Amino acid sequence: MLIVSVYLLTPLAAMLDFSTKIGRGKRGLYAWKAIFQQPDLISSIGVSLELAILVVLAVLLVVVPTVVWVHLKLPKLRRPLELICLLPLAFPAIVLVVGVSHTYNWISIHLSESPLTLTAIYLVLTLPYSYRSVAAALNSVDVHTLSEAARTLGASTGRVLFGIVMPTIRAGVMSAAVISIALVLGEYTIASLLNFQTMQVEINLVGQQDASIAVAVSLAALIFVFVLLVIIPTSTKRTKVLEPIES
- Give the global pTM: 0.80
- Domain ranges in the chain are 40-231
Residue 3's pLDDT band (cuts 50, 70, 90): very high
pLDDT tens per residue across span 160-208: 777 888 888 888 888 888 888 888 888 888 888 888 888 888 888 887 7
Write the DSSP string, the chain: -HHHHHHHHHHHHHHHHHHTEEETTEE-SHHHHHGGG-HHHHHHHHHHHHHHHHHHHHIIIIIHHHHHHHHHH-GGGHHHHHHHHHGGGGS-HHHHHHHHHHHHHHHHHHT---GGGGHHHHHHHHHHHHHHHHHHHHHTTTHHHHHHHHHHTT--HHHIIIIIIHHHTHHHHHHHHHHHHHHHHH--HHHHHTT---HHHHHHHHHTT-HHHHHHHHHHHHHHHHHHHHHS--SPPPPPPPPPPP-
Higher pLDDT, 207 or 245: 207
Q: What number does CATH give the domain 40-231?
A: 1.10.3720.10
**What pLDDT score was predicted for residue 232?**
65
**Mean pLDDT of all residues in the chain?**
82
